[in-house]
Amino acid sequence: LDNLKDSKGASAMATKQRKILKELKQEQAEIQHLQNIYRAAHQERKLLLKQQREILMMRHSTTQLQEKLQNLA
């Protein structure tokens, strides 16, 4: 009878462990997914900042060229 109780207890413990491990794996997958989203957003922000800098540089160059043309006229 004691062996049967121990067997049932071990089985219940193993079931709990499997459930906990499954939940842990799901949480790890969600964390990995969120990290990937964060990395993609970070890269997107870097690209936007680079594009903004390039636009500002073009505006500055255009302004300088316009000034030079006005001085020549």
* pLDDT one-digit tens code per residue, 21-38: 999 999 999 999 999 999
Is pLDDT of 67 > 90?
yes
User: What DSSP string runs through 4-71?
Assistant: HHHHHHHHHHHHHHHHHHHHHHHHHHHHHHHHHHHHHHHHHHHHHHHHHHHHHHHHHHHHHHHHHHHH
pTM, 2 dp:
0.65
- Longest CA span, the chain: 108
